[in-house]
Structures are given as structure tokens and as C-alpha cells.
Amino acid sequence: MIPGKVAARPSNAGTLRLLLIALMLVIVYGLVRGIFVHHDTPYEQIAGQMTAALQNNDLAGVEKFQNAETATQVTHAIVGRDADVLAPLGKLERVRETSVEADRRIHQFDVTFAKGVVHETIRFDPDNKVVGFKYELPAGQ
């Protein structure tokens, strides 16, 4: 080093710029993902969990979504029959609400399985307990 001269520090401007760009990309990705990714509604969650319970022949899992009156009408025979129909459709992939009749508390869903889509209609009581449930199988099933 020459006396009287100060050593120059290496410039980090390029590194800092790349770090800021990377940070901005992460932030934008997070915002886009949060805005455009579907988040299940409470009704979609109920439909999905109840359908999974039916598919797995889980009577207790189905009963927990029923109100006091309809829970007594759900039997091993009904759940077993539905399990025999739904299990061959494979893994439950997603549930999407397709329409709502708010005044009648009727919600309709398309439930996508690995091997088909089932259309479900569920009627809820004011406490969001299931009081009516039916499904339509995919064409050809």
C-alpha cells in the first residue's frame, strides 16, 4: 500500500442489486399465490371431509357433519354402499362449490377424484350441519 492512499473497498453494488431483485421476486410470487390460489370455503371443507369419510366407510366421520336428527338416519349400510361407489374413484383431489341457493341453504359441489368427478348437493341447517345429501356419479359409472 502506498503511504497516504486509502485502499478502495470492493463494490457490492452488483450483489446487492441481485439480492434486491431476488427479494422482490419472492414477494411478488407470494402475493400472486395468495391472490390467485383457491382457498376452500367452509362448505367445501365440510363436503370434502364428509366425502372422504364416506369413501373410507367411516360412519363416525359422516355422523359428525349431520345434525341430531339426520345423524340417526345415517347407517352402516348407507355409508358402506356409498363407500363401495366412491372408493373405486381413487384419491379425492379437490372440491369446488359450483352454486348456492342461499335462501334454501343448498350448496352444490364438483368433487374431483383421480378417476372422475362427482356432483354433490348438500343442504345445511342454520348451524351448518348437513340435513340433506345426494350425489351424481360421473357419466359411465
Residue 12: predicted pLDDT: 74
**pLDDT tens-digit readout, 38-67:** 678 999 999 999 999 999 999 999 999 999
Q: Are 50 and 130 in contact (CB under 8 A)?
A: yes
Sheet holding 130-136, edge to edge: 92-101, 106-113, 116-124, 130-136
34 — pLDDT class (breaks 50, 70, 90): low
70 — pLDDT class (breaks 50, 70, 90): confident
Residue 92: predicted pLDDT: 96
Q: Does domain 42-136 have CATH number 3.10.450.590?
A: yes
Residue 40: predicted pLDDT: 80
Structural domain boundaries in the chain? 42-136
Nearest to 76 by CA among 90, 59, 61: 59
Q: Are 74 and 132 in contact (CB under 8 A)?
A: no
Q: Rounded mean pLDDT of 109-125?
A: 95
What's the pTM?
0.71
State the DSSP code for 126.
Answer: T
